[in-house]
Each structure stands twice: as structure tokens, then as C-alpha cells.
Structure 1
Amino acid sequence: MSSNGEIEIGDLKIDNEDDVVNPWSVTSASQEGVDYDKLIKRFGSSKIDSELIQRWEKVTGKPVHHLLRRGLFFSHRDVHTILNLVEQGKSFYLYTGRGPSSGSMHIGHLIPFIFTKWIQDIFNVPLVIQMTDDEKFLWKDLTVEETTRLALENAKDIIALGFDVEKTFIFSDYTYMGQNSEFYRNISRIQKCVTFNQVKGIFGFGDSDVIGKIAFPAIQAAPCLSTSFPDIFGTAKVPCLIPCAIDQDPYFRMTRDVAPRLGFSKPALLHSTFIPALQGANTKMSASDTHTAIFLTDTPKQIKNKVECLDKNLQSFFPVRRLKQNA
């Protein structure tokens, strides 16, 4: 903490009363949840406005997805560049991912994947999905074998959404790293472009963090470089679009700095909001706490019990809001 009462998180300085949003923690000081307008300003991204939505519809000739129209995807980086490519008859590919820390995904995890499927369908483009089992081993109290197993189980949930099997590649870091030398070569190229001080500044790593955490961001960055997938793209340098929750943005802020130095386009991004935890909007659904979320493997009885608890939370929350409004 700095002397003026600010909390320092990576390259961001925020007041004690501000929201904390990073790849490993999402909490809000407000019962109403994360202030996304303030987050856009802090992260330096662009708000998805009516102009972008209208242009998207003009380029595609179809209405935008309801997740975009209703603001669940609210922020972006360089999406106009992707639409320019489409207008020019050029291609791009999609990249998103999942860090497997539970045997099943919950409904909050589905948001980026549902939207990614719609983008794949409407533009007929390739998609790569990274299962970061290595990340969860480094950050969670899980064994390598357990994260490998969870990656397989989560991949089943993703496959069930109905992605184009001819244009979708799902891979585990542990498995793919040993099979594809180009993937690891790009990881090494990225690692050489980022200093220890830079990665500490972006992610807030401390001196006591294990070296695996320091090295990991390059692994999540590598799928943004199309040559990491020679079986799909060969040596072509194809632009990339990443739909993801905004807590993953620090990885790609780093990548956007590195990519042009390696001869690639900066990856474009579409950021989603979070599905609030069942206990309240001041944090998101978490795979680490089964009580905060509705999982895809929950039984009807479990879902009923969780919804009943949610209803009680809402009843206790909204009277407080009314009192504040009348004060």
C-alpha cells in the first residue's frame, strides 16, 4: 500500500474503495458490483458504443448477438480493425480459453464461449481454445495430474456448446507444449521481449512468487501469434480476436506491446462483464467456491436450493437500496 492510501496492483494504482479486477481476483467495494465505466478508464480500453454495434450490423448484415446488444460485452480493443479486415475480404481467427480449476464449468464461464461461438458462426473463422492447466497448477493447491484431468472435463463442457468441429482446436498446455515446437518457440520469443520488472509491473508479482508464475504470461500470450499453430495457419501471420472476461486483459495488454516487435498485429479484444456470485454482486461466481455459482453438473435440486438462497439475498439487498434512495 502506498503512503496516500492507494493499493498498488501491478501497474495499476487504485483507491481502497475501488474495485479489484485482475486474473486471480475480482471484488468490488460496492454492493452494486464492479463499476465497469471506471474499469474502462483504468485499463485504457474503449467502450462498446452504439456506433460500433451499428457498424458490426452493417458489416455482417445481421443483428448483433444479445450479449453484445445488452451490454454484457461492454469494452473492446481494436475491434474496428477486425471489421476492416472483414470488409476487405481478409480473414482473422478467434482465441479464447479456460483455466480448469473445477470438475465442471459454471454459467459465468459460459458467457465468453457462447459469444465466441456466435462470432465463429457469423464470420466462419478458425478458433483456438487454450486450456491453461499449467496455470492452475501454479496458482491453486492442485497437482499436475489433477489439473490435467480437470482440463479434459472442462473441454467436454466447451464441446457441448456446438463449435464447428472443422474449425475449432482445443488444446491443453501440458499436452501441446511437447507436441508443437513452434508454440514453444513463440513462447521463448515473447519471454525475451518482456523484462522481469515489466511482468512484475503488469501483474503485481512479488519476490516470493514462484518463477513459474513469472514465466506463465508468455504461455497465455503465445496463442495470439498465428504461427504457434502451423497445422492451421502454416507460416501466415493472421490477426487475432479474443473474446474474454475483462479480468484477463492484463495478459493481452502485455501481448499487444510485444506482438508488433515480433512482426504480428496487435490482438483485438472483446471484454465481457462478470456474472455476480449468488451471495451478491460484490464478487463474481467462482469455481473455487461451489456456493457462489450454478455449475453445469448441478442437479435440479441443487439449482433449486441455490436459486432459493439467491432469492433471499435479493430480498435482503433491495430494501437496503430503497432506504438509501429515500434518505
Structure 2
Amino acid sequence: MEIEEVAAAEQVVTPWEVSAPDGVIDYDKLVDRFGCQLIDAAIVDRIAHLTLCPPHRFLRRGIFFAHRDLNRILDLYEAGEKFYLYTGRGPSSESLHLGHLIPFMFTKYLQDAFKVPLVIQLTDDEKFLWKNLTIAECKRLARENAKDIIACGFDVERTFIFTDLNYVGGGILGITPEDHIGKVSFPPVQAAPSFPSSFPHLFPGNDQLRCLIPCAIDQDPYFRMTRDVAPKIGFQKPSLIESRFFPALQGESTKMSASDPNSAIYVTDSSKQIKAKVNKYAFSGGQASVELHRKLGANLDVDVPIKYLNFFLEDDDELDHIKKEYKEGRMLTGEVKQRLIAVLSELVARHQRARAQVTEEMVDAFMAVRPLPNMFG
């Protein structure tokens, strides 16, 4: 076998590319290769016990499934010590799709459950480097994305949202749009928020405060680097809690793409658009005919409507019922899609209502460089 063929047969997971030969990511292999740990039922139970909150469905269903040093964070929390959360978004499009919302929905749960502060990084500098966008456009997209993030319900008294070009670039390092691009080295910029000293207005004199980073597992390489470097420069290693990927409508073998609006459900979509996209594009694990489907049932491993319900349908009993009926051929693809359309339409309409309430002044309030006196309250 040629070397190229061997490489092609391997799954590739980096911050820039996610692909698998058969279109299905082998998460066990990935955890093994990256060297992180699986989240087991004992950890989920422990989080519920420590926070006195029911575990989020993303935890119950193994969507956030892997971690690095999560138990260390829980040990410290149990002993009365604090930590902070850090997550982020690369603002390359006007509107977020549902996949973009996953880390923010989960981070909001963590903020509410543990009552801890949160920093959210908008990497407008990265988008200036990798996309054909002006500085002004990158800054505008960052503010628009911030409104969608704020609409997830974060607590302004515990949350600092910042853009790299404002807080890191122009603000501290004095980088201008005319400067040579070599001045901007991106991975360390993404690593820096893992260290409390990056936020002197929030954590003065608390350089050993621990950080927990909720993210998709393709971001792991950034933070492996960060964790290697941290002890050498006198900081604690950040902990990670990592999610599976959210598939494109056409299935796991394709990528959600801003250039293909039919690959994803966007938070700006109308209920009519959601219905059309799910019915036409959501990859089905059902059989080719009703007769065959009644006989053989659906393949849930590849069925996108089931995967989406796994993310967004809150009721565990209803989800289990749908899976059982569909797998055994008693429920048809059209019925599963109908339920998904209802769930997604409600979720997106709720988000749109919340987004409409977010003003420019609210964005300014979340982005103001200020102390947060009640952040651990």
C-alpha cells in the first residue's frame, strides 16, 4: 500500500480539518491518540452532586464526552476553591449555525451550575489572517456574533467578552492594520486566556487560578500545547471538557460550510426554511421503501435527524422512544423529521426573540474592561 493510501485511510482531526474515511469519526481512537480521558457516569454524577443541578443533556448523553484534568477542577471546587471558564468563537460569518451554539449552551449551564466567571474570546484577528476580510469587517462580525452569544443568556456580572483586535492587539501590543502580519502569532493568542494573568482587571494577584475550557475536541491540539508550556512559565495547566462534533445536515462525512447554507440550520432561519432544509437535506438512516423500512428499521448510526434530536430534544424518555420505534421500523423517517422540525423551530424562534432584545449598549457592557465583584457570588 502506498503511503498516500495509508494516510487517506486515517481519520484527520485538527483545528482546521476534520475528516474520516467512512464518514464516521471513531471517538475512542481519537481519545486514545490525543491522550485525554473519557467522561464516565461517575464524573457526571459527581458534577450533579457538587452543583446540586441536574446534569445537562450534553453530559447525560455523552455529547461532552472527554476531558483533561476535569477531576482536578472538581477536587478544588469541592475543597472550596474557585476556577473560571474560557471559551471562544472565530467570527467569520454574520450568523451562527446550531453547531456554533453547542459550546455556548453548555458553557452557560456550567456558569449557572458552578457560579463562576467566564471569559469569551472572539478571535477576529484569526479571521483577518485566514479569511479575505478587512479589519473593520472582522470587528463588525465579532460584535454581531457577540449578540448571538449574549442571547444564550450569560450573566453580565460574571462574563467578560473580548475581541483580540481590541483587547490583545491594538489595546496592548499596538498592532495596526498596516503592520506586517508576522507580528501576529495566533496559537499563543488562543492559549493566553487560559492564564488568569491575561485578565488583571478580573483576577489581580490570583495567577494560580485554574481554568476550565469547554470546546469541541478538534481544539484539543491548541490546548495540549498550552498545557505543555504552562508549568514552564509558572502557571497551572488549564483543564478541558470536550464535545463530539455536530454533523452537517448531509451527514458526518460532510462539513457545515458558510458557503453552503443548506449544510446547516442557522439561527436566522425561519420555521419555513428549517422545515425545507430538514425535509430535503437531513441524511436519513431509513430504508429506500416503506415496506423495507418496516422490515429492517433505520440505521441510527448515520441518521442525522436522530443525531440532531440527541443534541436538542430535552426529554430523555421521548428520545429513547423515538429511537426504539424508528430502529424497529414502526416509525418512519418523515415522522422523525417532523418532530425534529418542531424542536428546531422552537429553539431557533426562542433564540431570535432573545437576540432581538440585545442592544449595542449590552454588547458594550459585556465587553467593558471592568472588575466583576460578584463573579464568584
TM-score, normalised on structure 2?
0.70
2:71 to 71, 74, 80: 80
In 2, distance between residues paired with 1:221 and 1:235?
20
**1:164-243, aligned counterparts within 5 Å?**
164-178=155-169, 181=172, 211=182, 215-237=185-207, 238-243=209-214
Cα shift at 1:139: 1.5
Give the match's secondary structure for 1:134: helix
What is aligned with 1:152?
143
Cα shift at 1:290: 1.8
Cα shift at 1:311: 4.3
In 2, distance between residues paired with 1:96 and 1:78?
17
Cα shift at 1:147: 1.6
Give the match's secondary structure for 1:260: helix
The C-alpha deviation readout for 1:138-179, integer Å capped at 9, x for no partner, is 112222222211111110000001101101011110011257
Larger CA Rg, structure 1 vs 2: 2
Cα shift at 1:303: 1.4
- In the superposition, relative to structure 1, how do residues 147 and 288 fare at CA in structure 2: closer, same or farther (>3 Å)? farther
The C-alpha deviation readout for 1:5-30, integer Å capped at 9, x for no partner, is 477xxxxxxx4222221111222222
In 2, distance between residues paired with 1:212 and 1:39?
33
Cα shift at 1:295: 0.6
Name the amino acid aligned to 2:19. T
Name the amino acid aligned to 1:147. C
Cα shift at 1:315: 4.7
- In the superposition, relative to structure 1, how do residues 88 and 321 fare at CA in structure 2: closer, same or farther (>3 Å)? closer
TM-score, normalised on structure 1?
0.81
In 2, distance between residues paired with 1:170 and 1:39?
31
In 2, distance between residues paired with 1:312 and 1:117?
30
What is aligned with 2:19?
27
> Would the aligned equivalents of 2:262 and 2:281 in 1 still touch at CA under 8 Å?
no
The C-alpha deviation readout for 1:219-246, integer Å capped at 9, x for no partner, is 0000001011111111312110000011
1:271 aligns with 2:242: yes
Name the amino acid aligned to 1:229. F
What is aligned with 2:116?
125
What is aligned with 1:141?
132
* Residues 40-49 or 89-98, more deviating: 40-49
In 2, distance between residues paired with 1:288 and 1:44?
34
Give the match's secondary structure for 2:166: helix
What is aligned with 1:282?
253
The C-alpha deviation readout for 1:260-280, integer Å capped at 9, x for no partner, is 112111000000111110111
In 2, distance between residues paired with 1:71 and 1:258?
29
Flag structure 1 segments of 5+ consecutive residues without an equivalent: 8-14, 186-209, 323-327
Cα shift at 1:314: 4.6
In 2, distance between residues paired with 1:312 and 1:22?
25
> Would the aligned equivalents of 2:90 and 2:127 in 1 still touch at CA under 8 Å?
yes
The C-alpha deviation readout for 1:100-147, integer Å capped at 9, x for no partner, is 111011101111111100110011110000000111121122222222
> Would the aligned equivalents of 2:212 and 2:240 in 1 still touch at CA under 8 Å?
yes
Flag structure 2 segments of 5+ consecutive residues without an equivalent: 175-180, 301-377
2:226 to 247, 250, 255: 255
The one of the two structures with greater contact order (alpha-carbon pairs below 8 A, sep at least 6) is 1
In 1, distance between residues paired with 2:191 and 2:206?
17
RMSD: 2.5
What is aligned with 2:87?
96
What is aligned with 2:369?
none
What is aligned with 2:56?
65
Q: Percent identity?
A: 56
In 2, distance between residues paired with 1:16 and 1:211?
32
Name the amino acid aligned to 1:292. S
What is aligned with 1:197?
none
Give the match's secondary structure for 1:274: coil
In 2, distance between residues paired with 1:154 and 1:292?
19
In 2, distance between residues paired with 1:212 and 1:30?
40
In 2, distance between residues paired with 1:170 and 1:111?
17
Cα shift at 1:55: 2.2
Name the amino acid aligned to 1:283. T
- In the superposition, relative to structure 1, how do residues 279 and 316 fare at CA in structure 2: closer, same or farther (>3 Å)? farther
